[in-house]
Chains A and B, each alone.
Chain A
Amino acid sequence: MTILNRVAGARPGTSGRLSRLLIIELVLLALFALMPLLLGSIWSEDDSFFWIVFTTKVLILSLFGLSFDLAWGYAGLMSFGQALFFGGAGYVVAVMSRDLGISSIFIVLPVAIVVGLVLAMLLAAFLLSGSRTPSIIFIAFGTLTGSYAAERLARAWYYLGGQNGVSVTKALTIGDMPLYEGVGFYYLAFGLLVVVYIGCRFLVRSQFGLVLAGIREREERITFLGYKVQLTRAIVFILSGAIAGLGGGLYAFHEGFVWPALMGPIYSTQAMLYVMLGGVSTLIGPVIGVTAIEFATIILIDYLRDFWIIILGVLLLLVIMFRRTGLVGVLVSERERIGSFRWRGANRKSDSRSD
């Protein structure tokens, strides 16, 4: 079996046809990779610059959506507070840039990841600890409350700029070279997204991912099998926090501004909107969701601004009621969507197979 097929989850012994899901992923990968070059040849320099910057934002927000998918789609934790990690990391790097003048990418990004990770760890420790399994409602509430309280605090705390937020006027620097918005930042965001995506993909298709799937399906059985369910979920939740944090750090420098609502419940639930519409539990779903919603918003804004969010709400309701698998579910079969996992046996036996 080729590596591609193995990653795609095709079972050993099949003819090696690429699954539809993989095709979607590859198409998107190619599109995003080549977009700046394509744009430059079609449109004026000003227009294409604008769209490159816009798409960079989409890529950064995809990290945000991805983090929600990990938490909800894979760990089964309804997290209404992903923005806490995203915005929290954004605030920390913004304040660091304002007060300490730090803008080097080698400090900013790791700090952002760590902030997201630590916040998620604290929240996970609080919510998931204890001998009794917390109900999903409690987790939803706990994360919602965390997000809400963080937003209120940020609004109130003068040091954080209060309601005015914090402006990030420095550009991200790689060594001595500043990285402004544009093609450079685009490929940075793109590269990071690809790395994170592939990492997550491997994780959820591995043995660990198999345990996660088991937890989603039959939690009690998995517990009886000896797996530490809460710990497993916590790990995924913390990972999602780290990814959201990374996104937040990039956002702060790309958009140049962080403000309290970035940590709040409304923004958190925006992630839910992106992911549910795109397709939960698929990893590519969030990317599709973010891209579709953001592009649709900016294009339809002339005609529909007041109504657009209502339409999105209605779409979300329809998805919840009828097709919980979102856009991806429309294109890809259920089995492929869940995918299969690397078998312990396959790792050894495949060496001897000829492909």
Chain B
Amino acid sequence: MTKVIKNDRTEGQLTRRSFLQSAMWMSGAVATGLGSWVFPAKWSHAAGPIKVGIATDLTGPIAFGGIPCSRIAKLAIDQINDNGGILGRPLEMYLEDTASNEQIAVGVVRKLVQRNRVDVVLGGITSSMRNAIKDIIVGRGRTLYIYPQLYEGRECTPNLFCTGPTPAQQCDDLIPWLIANGGKRFALPSANYVWPHVLNEYARKSIEDNGGEVVLEEYYPLDQVEYGATVKKIMDEKVDVVFNTVIPPGLGPFIKQLYEGGFLKRGGRLSCVYYDENALNINSPQEMEGLASCLDYFQNIEDPFSAELQAAYQKRHAHKDKVLFSAGSGSTGMYRGVKLWEAAVTEAGAVDRDSVAAALDHAKIANGPGGPSNMVPGTYHCQMNMYIAVAKGGKYEIISKADQVHPKECG
């Protein structure tokens, strides 16, 4: 996945460790030393509690994603516990902060897997984080791992299940819509790392299959903020649609320079598949007018369960710190992951990795953010509803909905 960075002026406060510890949702968390926390089980059972490990970025640039992920996980676990747990056993949540730093992450995930011996690990947001911790969990740790964030696909490791959107889910409906509502000439300005490379391969094929043409595909270092050359090429080549995978810190300046270059004025269409409600704060509304995004969830979709979930989240977290429950943060995939896992454990009747993995392979949930979700057997990925939304005046307008889009991975 990407590194979407939110630009919020009050951010400094919310990610400071002390704030975390005093935050209401952390009350009930017990420090177990070495920087670890656990939310202890509320009742006891002969077989002991089921241990759920959450390893996510609570501090650092990816905290805007890690914090809602951990909160929604806690919400989901509390809901499960309120309904009697799984198999009569209570769930205990072990929380570790991977701090947006792969080196630290390796150490803390080791704690979860070796010291706490959790039964499942959910977490990781960026692909580099997933890559850093997956072997410790799945290989050396022989534990199940669920990865909740939208990403580039091609992760077909056994016992590693992905509950976030794949390129196919994000592009299959979006690209035809872009061609119909933007034009045929595409530019793919991208950050230079794995997610854009792989996504662009899929996007290019989809664009060409739908009669479009890619006139520009370029990769930039992550901290590049000078896009004069790119904007010039986009204007010269009469590009209709800019399918952007530049991420912060370059994102804000790029969108701004593109706007200043006159792209939108000329009728160009912007598109960015990781844009969610958080990203709306990065540029001014006129710079992003008409930007099209395709995600598994937006806050204003019409789905009663999603609305309830959003309300429950907001009730707990009072929307003070603007760290939103949104699709770009991975929190929608996190909720989906917890519930699918719950379904799998219930079906398997056991908590050991192999039984649960076998059940998770075909698990289904009827209610999730954005709609129901079904695992596609043998592929480690799941179907979900996908929505196309366009930014208008700084807010999203939902354009279309596609039901149960197939992830097309590992098949």
Contact = CB atoms under 8 A, between A and B. Distances in A.
* Complex: A in contact with B (CB within 8 Å): yes
Interface of A: 46-47, 49-50, 53-54, 152, 155-156, 158, 161-169, 171, 180-181, 255-257, 259, 261, 298-299, 301-302, 305-306
Contact of A155 (B117, B140, B192, B197): B192
23 contacts: A49-B114, A49-B115, A50-B110, A158-B192, A161-B131, A161-B194, A162-B194, A162-B197, A164-B127, A165-B128, A167-B132, A167-B135, A181-B140, A256-B136, A257-B131, A257-B135, A259-B103, A259-B128, A299-B34, A302-B35, A305-B99, A306-B16, A306-B17
Interface residues of B, number: 34
Contacts of B133: 257
A299 B35 CA distance: 8
Nearest to B134: A167
Contacts of B128: 163-165, 259
A350 B377 CA distance: 77
Contact of A50 (B111, B134, B140, B219): B111
A261 B106 CA distance: 14
A185 to B, nearest CB: 11
A155 B35 contact: no
Contacts of B131: 161, 164-167, 257
A168 B115 contact: no
B221 A298 contact: no
B102 interface: yes
Contacts of B227: none
B134 A305 contact: no
Contacts of B116: 46
Given A257-B131, A259-B103, 13 more contacts: A49-B115, A50-B115, A53-B110, A155-B222, A156-B219, A158-B193, A161-B131, A161-B194, A164-B128, A165-B132, A259-B128, A299-B34, A302-B34
Contacts of A152: 221
Nearest to A157: B192
A171 B192 CA distance: 30
A305 B102 CA distance: 16
Interface of B: 16-17, 31, 33-35, 99, 102-103, 106-107, 110-111, 114-117, 127-128, 131-136, 139-140, 192-194, 197, 219, 221-222
Nearest to A267: B103
A86 to B, nearest CB: 13
Nearest to A304: B17
Contacts of B114: 46, 49-50, 53
Contacts of A306: 16-17
A279 B193 CA distance: 39
Given A155-B222, A256-B140, A46 B115 contact: yes
Contact of B115 (A47, A167, A255, A299): A47
A261 B192 CA distance: 16
A301 B132 contact: no
Nearest to A161: B194
Q: Is the interface of A mostly helix, strand, loop or mixed?
A: helix
A348 B119 CA distance: 66
A238 to B, nearest CB: 27
Contact of A165 (B102, B136, B140): B102
Contacts of B99: 305
A36 B128 CA distance: 32
Nearest to A302: B35
Given A50-B110, A152-B221, A181-B140, A257 B102 contact: yes
Nearest to B3: A163
Contacts of A164: 127-128, 131, 193-194
A284 B111 CA distance: 29
A98 to B, nearest CB: 11
A257 B219 CA distance: 24
Nearest to A270: B103
A275 B177 CA distance: 59
A189 to B, nearest CB: 16
Contacts of B102: 165, 257, 259, 261
A153 B102 CA distance: 18
Nearest to A257: B132
A302 B136 contact: no
Contacts of A50: 110-111, 114-115
Nearest to B191: A163
A263 to B, nearest CB: 13
A167 B128 CA distance: 9
A261 B222 CA distance: 14
B407 to A, nearest CB: 20
Contact of B106 (A49, A158, A257): A257
Contact of B33 (A49, A171, A257, A302): A302
Given A257-B132, A259-B128, A302 B106 contact: no
A215 to B, nearest CB: 35
Contacts of B197: 158, 162
Given A165-B102, A255-B106, A302 B31 contact: yes
A167 B17 CA distance: 29
B135 A298 contact: no
B1 to A, nearest CB: 10
Contact of A156 (B17, B107, B192): B192
B135 A301 contact: no
B236 to A, nearest CB: 25
Contacts of A46: 114-117
The 7 residue pairs across chains A and B that have the minimum distance between CB atoms:
A163-B193, A301-B35, A162-B193, A256-B135, A164-B128, A50-B115, A257-B132
B193 to A, nearest CB: 4
Contacts of A299: 34
Nearest to B21: A302
A258 to B, nearest CB: 9
A47 B194 CA distance: 36
A162 B132 contact: no
Contacts of B110: 50, 53-54
A156 B224 CA distance: 12
B139 A256 contact: yes
Contacts of A162: 192-194, 197
B135 A305 contact: no
A171 B99 CA distance: 27
